């Protein structure tokens, strides 16, 4: 029996002297205090709240003293919380708290802050036209690349991104295959049913002394089609989209369809199918993103142009869109009969 008790006490002692986590030192054997920090991984210059708690002594009746880098910053009965401003990247800040309990015993614990920073950038593999000023958004069932940009410094030197440890999460689930040393890139794909994606990463230094985290939210969108006039001299007139209705002033109109946020490299590609209709009748021979229409009468009237576009990839069945345009033909007294109907 004595041998069993001795072994048990030895194991317990080893457990107590181990740090309770990677970044906070919870004190020596017999400590009754624990510390919490918010945010858990402060960035450089960020306001940080540090609190102390105990399940064994009444801190509300204890004389509590707080030290930052060995300087007293707060003291009083029941002072269980302080607010500090994290230093520069990699700058060390030692925080310690001492509590004098009602029983006359003194308890202490402390932690060390070394702020670091990481930012997340994401890029969708979807199409936008040249000189588009907006961001290419993630389409339904689309693929997104997320890059972690860490800023970990020690003194005047910057730790290379390849030396850091990355833990990636999709929602609340750790993605083990994408996590590890130097893995600062993460790729995910949208699924059905369509949901907002929350991607987060925790980055740690190899010696566990520095840590940072970041989170982004990516909202999948439905791809869309936009119509633009394609001028024979000036090309596609991106400055004004054709919405709802358009009045044809000449004899001919060339329309270009732009497939925003479809997962393709170009608008003229095998990745997409273009189905054009004029007055709900298919336009034979029209299978590209551009269609040319010509007047067939000198009378006034209207025609409805319709386009449906979808991905050829069966795994991207939700990447589809449609657009309708009503074209008005004013009366033309000197109309010279030419080709009838729609042409290529």
Q: Concatenated DSSP letters for 289-313?
A: SEEEEE---SS-EEEEEEEEEEES-
pTM listed for this prediction: 0.77
What integer is the mean pLDDT of 226-243? Answer: 92
Is the backbone peptide bond immediately before 39 cis, with ω within 30 degrees of 0? yes
Please, what is the average pLDDT of the chain? 86
Whether 23 and 41 map to the same domain: the answer is yes
State the pLDDT at residue 227. Answer: 96
Whether 124 and 36 map to the same domain: the answer is no
State the pLDDT at residue 65. Answer: 97
State the pLDDT at residue 333. Answer: 67
Query: Residue 324 in 3-state DSSP?
Result: strand
DSSP for 97-145 reads EEEE-TTS-EEEEEEEE-B-EEEEEEEE-----TT--S--PPBTT-EEE
Last residue of a domain, one of 76, 94, 113: 113
Q: How far apart are CA 106 and CA 104, in angstroms?
A: 7
Last residue of a domain, one of 89, 113, 137: 113
pLDDT at residue 31 above 90? no
Indicate the number of domains in the chain: 3
Asked if 213 and 202 count as a contact pair (C-beta separation under 8 A), the reply is: yes
Per-residue tokens: 335: 């109309």
Terminal Cα distance for the chain, rounded: 96
Last residue of a domain, one of 94, 113, 132: 113
Over the stretch 191-231, which tens digit does the pLDDT of each residue have? 888 899 999 999 999 999 999 999 999 999 999 999 999 99
Q: How far apart are CA 239 and CA 128, in angstroms?
A: 15
- Greatest mean pLDDT among 21-35, 212-226, 317-331: 212-226
- What count of other Cβ atoms lies within 10 Å of the Cβ of residue 105? 12
Whether 25 and 86 map to the same domain: the answer is yes
Say how many CA atoms lie within 13 Å of 259 toward its Cβ: 27
Q: How far apart are CA 167 and CA 213, in angstroms?
A: 9
Whether 79 and 180 map to the same domain: the answer is no
Whether 230 and 336 map to the same domain: the answer is yes
CATH of the domain at 167: 2.60.40.10
Whether 176 and 261 map to the same domain: the answer is no
- Residue 315 sits at φ, ψ, to 5 deg, of -85, 0
Q: How far apart are CA 273 and CA 321, in angstroms?
A: 11
Whether 171 and 188 map to the same domain: the answer is yes
Whether 109 and 126 map to the same domain: the answer is no
Over the stretch 39-63, which tens digit does the pLDDT of each residue have? 999 999 999 999 999 988 999 999 9
The least confident of 81-85, 101-105, 118-122 is 101-105
Range of the domain at 21: 2-113
Whether 336 and 229 map to the same domain: the answer is yes
Whether 249 and 319 map to the same domain: the answer is yes
Over the stretch 136-167, which tens digit does the pLDDT of each residue have? 999 999 999 999 999 999 878 899 999 999 99
Alpha-carbon torsion (102, 103, 106, 110), positive or negative? negative
For β-strands 224-231 and 281-282, DSSP reports them as unpaired
Segment (H or E) for 217? strand 211-218
pLDDT at residue 64 above 90? yes
Whether 121 and 109 map to the same domain: the answer is no
What integer is the mean pLDDT of 242-268? Answer: 89
3-state secondary structure the chain: CHHHHHHHHHHHHHHHHCCCCCCEECCCCCCCCEEEEECCCCCCCCEEEEEEECCCCCHHHCEEEEEECCEEEEEEECCCEEEEECCCCCCCEEEEEEEECCCCCEEEEEEEECECEEEEEEEECCCCCCCCCCCCCCECCCEEEEEEEEECEECCEECCHHHCEEEEEECCEECHHHCEECCCEEEEECCCCCCCEEEEEEEECCCCCCEEEEEEEECCECCEEEEEEEECCCEEEEEEEECEEEECCCCEEEEEEEEECCCCCCCCCCCEEEEEEECCEECCCCCCCEEEEECCCCCCEEEEEEEEEEECCHHHCCCEEEEEEEEEECCCCCCCCCCCCEEC
Q: How far apart are CA 300 and CA 51, in angstroms?
A: 78
Whether 188 and 205 map to the same domain: the answer is yes
Q: How far apart are CA 257 and CA 324, in angstroms?
A: 11
């Amino acid at each position: 029996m004595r041998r069993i008790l001795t072994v048990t006490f030895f194991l317990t002692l080893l457990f107590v002297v181990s740090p309770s986590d990677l970044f906070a030192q919870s004190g020596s054997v017999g400590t009754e205090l624990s510390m919490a920090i918010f945010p858990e991984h402060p960035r450089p210059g960020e306001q940080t709240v540090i609190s102390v708690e105990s399940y064994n002594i009444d801190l509300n009746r204890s004389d509590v003293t707080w030290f930052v880098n060995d300087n007293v910053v707060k003291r009083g009965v029941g002072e269980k919380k302080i607010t500090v401003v994290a230093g520069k990247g990699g700058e060390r800040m030692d925080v310690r708290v001492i509590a004098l309990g009602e029983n006359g015993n003194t308890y202490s614990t402390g932690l060390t802050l070394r702020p670091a920073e990481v930012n997340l950038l994401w890029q969708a593999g979807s199409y936008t036209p040249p000189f588009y000023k907006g961001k290419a958004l993630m389409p339904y069932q689309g693929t997104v690349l997320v890059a972690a940009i860490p800023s970990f410094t020690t003194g005047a030197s910057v730790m290379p991104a390849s030396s850091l440890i990355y833990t990636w999460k999709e929602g609340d689930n750790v993605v083990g295959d994408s996590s590890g040393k130097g893995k600062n890139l993460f790729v995910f794909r949208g699924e059905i049913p369509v949901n907002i994606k929350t991607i987060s990463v925790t980055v740690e230094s190899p010696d566990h002394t520095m840590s940072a985290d970041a989170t982004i939210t990516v909202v999948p969108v439905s791809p869309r089609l936009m119509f633009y006039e394609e001028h024979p001299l000036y090309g596609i007139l991106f400055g004004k989209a054709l919405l709802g209705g358009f009045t044809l002033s000449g004899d001919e109109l060339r329309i270009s369809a732009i497939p925003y946020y479809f997962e393709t490299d170009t608008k003229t590609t095998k990745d997409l199918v273009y189905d054009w209709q004029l007055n709900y009748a298919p336009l034979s021979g029209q299978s590209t993103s551009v269609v040319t229409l010509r007047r067939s009468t000198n009378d006034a009237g209207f025609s409805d142009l319709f386009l449906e576009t979808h991905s050829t990839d069966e795994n991207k069945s939700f990447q589809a869109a449609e657009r309708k345009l009503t074209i008005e033909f004013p009366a033309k007294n000197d109309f010279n009969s030419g080709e009838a109907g729609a042409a290529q």
